[in-house]
Amino acid sequence: MLWWRLQKLKSRDKWARFDAAKRIGQLGDKGGVTPLISVLANDESKDVRKAAMHSLGLLGDARSVRPLLAVLKSKIRSCAMPPRRRSRSSDSLRSCR
């Protein structure tokens, strides 16, 4: 079952990758940690990256601590920027609240 989900992480379809990232966490198989870390760092879809973050949290493996902290630090830095330097989109403003 994990093998199939790992293959889906490579799909061109954003929603297939989202579903795979979400289900890997639900499976509870720590064999999915490294691929999820890769998705967290490299996927172009914010939704897929969020699903990977959630699944890494569910899996609770120590290997995911540094990548998750890096995402958190990045978020803090972007919210600490003066508003004029932040993107004007409502998404970027909402994410800092």
> pTM to 2 decimals?
0.79
Question: According to the model, what pLDDT value does residue 77 have?
Answer: 75
- Give the burial class of 69: count Cβ atoms within 10 A of its Cβ; 0-12 exposed, 13-18 middle, 19 or more buried: exposed
Q: Is the pLDDT of residue 93 over 90?
A: no
Per DSSP, which regions of the chain are E strands? none
Query: How does pLDDT run across 59-77, given as a tens digit for each residue?
Result: 999 999 999 999 988 877 7
Q: Is the pLDDT of residue 83 over 70?
A: no
Nearest CA among 6, 48, 10 for reference residue 31? 6
Written as six digits, the tokens of 38 are 């890769």
What angle in degrees, to the nearest 10, is found between the helix axes of 65-80 and 33-42? 20
Query: How does pLDDT run across 35-44, given as a tens digit for each residue?
Result: 999 999 999 9
Structural domain boundaries enclosing 44: 2-94
Domain count, the chain: 1
Q: List the CATH number of the domain containing 60.
A: 1.25.10.10
- Give the burial class of 49: count Cβ atoms within 10 A of its Cβ; 0-12 exposed, 13-18 middle, 19 or more buried: buried
Q: Is the pLDDT of residue 28 over 50?
A: yes
